[in-house]
């Protein structure tokens, strides 16, 4: 009997925990930046960029947390064309889910997210294939690919500034994976867009990609990043402090750009980043 009643007790705790977990999510609708199309700030397929905005409240009303979505890159024209039909919308806002579940750092519950729950929270969707860095004017009529990630960043910032971000007390630019890399390339630009009195910081989560050879001795990620840089013509958009010293392909690596970022930058990276290991170091 004792075991059975203590069993029920644990069941109660489990159900309670489950209810707590179930309520973490906060479904937030998509906002398409339709006016971006006229400015050519578009996804790979020419569709408008998009973000999800959850308004801040209480003490957090004047604080802004931006999160750049991740999702690898496309490294050649064939791959970028295929990305236009990526089911997560990584190449087209036509395929993006119209609602996102805001959890973790984006959760609106103080229990799960004590530091940021009441801030204005924005998830910026990734559909350019090159970490929000490209701004290539030409569009090849054969491929119909737009390489405009840097322009997307600019237009989305313009809209958020108008929505109240220009009065921000605190502003944090965050992102994960290729979004974490995007944070490094856009951190000082973000700082420059905000008033001097705004406290601005950046947070790159799992965006520190190592320039290491794979187990067969091939510089696989170096070749891959070089192809991303060539395909999207990134040389002119990567930091001159780096491109003046080495070839542009190497300036897509955080180790060659992070030290020149002027704005406070926090880097979080697991020592054994499973994505890097399986994608670039030990390929099955
Ligand atoms: C949102 O995320 C939470 C936590 O991961 C999960 O429990 C919940 O079921 C999700 N809600 C929806 C509608 O997907
Ligand atoms: C969080 O979001 C959910 C879903 O939109 C909403 O019902 C709830 O009121 C929000 N919580 C707070 C504290 O704003
Ligand atoms: C989000 O979109 C759904 C479906 O279009 C709509 O029913 C809902 O009212 C919207 N929620 C908000 C907060 O605008
Ligand atoms: C393009 O890159 C992909 C890997 O992303 C590779 O599988 C494919 O062979 C490359 N195609 C060309 C034409 O180089």
Q: Give the predicted TM-score (pTM) of the model.
A: 0.91
Q: What is the DSSP letter of 48?
A: P
| Residue 147 alpha carbon to ligand 4 centre in Å | 18
Distance CA 9, CA 5 (A): 6
Distance CA 94, CA 214 (A): 36
Q: What confidence score (pLDDT) does residue 40 get?
A: 98
| Residue 47 pLDDT greater than 50, yes or no | yes
| Residue 15 pLDDT greater than 60, yes or no | no
Task: Write out the residue range of the structural domain in which residue 197 sits.
Answer: 2-281
Q: What confidence score (pLDDT) does residue 103 get?
A: 95
Per DSSP, the three-state class of 149 is helix
Distance CA 263, CA 160 (A): 20
The number of folded domains in the chain is 1
If pLDDT is split at 50, 70 and 90, which confidence band does 25 have? confident
Q: What confidence score (pLDDT) does residue 2 get?
A: 41
Q: How far is CA 105 from CA 83, 122, 172, 235, in A?
A: 27, 11, 11, 33
Q: What confidence score (pLDDT) does residue 18 get?
A: 56
Distance CA 118, CA 95 (A): 29
* pLDDT average, residue stretch 202-214: 94
Q: What confidence score (pLDDT) does residue 149 get?
A: 98
The chain-wide mean pLDDT, for the chain, equals 93
| Residue 4 pLDDT greater than 50, yes or no | no
| Residue 51 alpha carbon to ligand 3 centre in Å | 15
| Residue 110 alpha carbon to ligand 2 centre in Å | 11
Give 145-188 pLDDT, tens digit per residue. Answer: 999 999 999 999 999 999 999 999 999 999 999 999 999 999 99
CATH number of the CATH domain containing 87:
3.40.50
- Which of 23, 26, 55, 60 has most ligand 2 atoms within 8 Å of CB, for mutation? 26
Show the beta-strand stretches assigned E in 13-85.
27-32, 50-54, 63-68
Per DSSP, the three-state class of 275 is helix
In contact, 115 and 79? CB cutoff 8 Å: no
Distance CA 223, CA 133 (A): 18
**Ligand minimally distant from the alpha carbon of residue 231:** 4
If pLDDT is split at 50, 70 and 90, which confidence band does 230 have? very high
């Amino acid at each position: 009997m004792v075991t059975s009643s203590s069993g029920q007790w644990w069941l109660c705790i489990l159900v309670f925990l489950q209810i707590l977990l179930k309520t973490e999510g906060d479904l937030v609708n998509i906002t398409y930046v339709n006016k971006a199309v006229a400015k050519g700030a578009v996804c790979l397929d020419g569709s408008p960029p998009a973000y999800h905005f959850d308004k801040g409240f209480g003490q957090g009303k004047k604080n802004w947390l931006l999160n750049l979505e991740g999702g690898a890159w496309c490294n050649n024209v064939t791959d970028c064309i295929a990305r236009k039909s990526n089911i997560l919308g990584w190449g087209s806002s036509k395929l993006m889910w119209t609602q996102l579940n805001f959890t973790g750092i984006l959760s609106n519950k103080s229990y799960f997210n004590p530091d940021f729950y009441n801030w204005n929270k924005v998830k910026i969707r990734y559909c350019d294939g090159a970490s929000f860095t490209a701004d290539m004017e030409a569009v090849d009529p054969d491929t119909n690919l737009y390489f405009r990630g840097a322009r997307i960043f600019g237009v989305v910032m313009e809209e958020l500034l108008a929505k109240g971000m220009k009065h921000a007390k605190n502003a944090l630019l965050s992102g994960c994976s290729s979004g974490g890399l995007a944070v490094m390339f856009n951190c000082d630009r973000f700082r420059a867009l905000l008033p001097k009195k705004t406290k601005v910081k950046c947070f790159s989560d799992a965006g520190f990609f190592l320039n290491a050879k794979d187990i067969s001795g091939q510089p696989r990620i170096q070749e891959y990043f070089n192809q991303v840089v060539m395909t999207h013509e990134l040389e002119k958009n990567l930091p001159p402090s780096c491109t003046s010293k080495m070839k542009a392909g190497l300036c897509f690596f955080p180790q060659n750009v992070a030290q020149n970022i002027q704005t406070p930058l926090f880097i979080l990276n697991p020592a054994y980043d499973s994505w890097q290991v399986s994608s670039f170091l030990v390929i099955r």
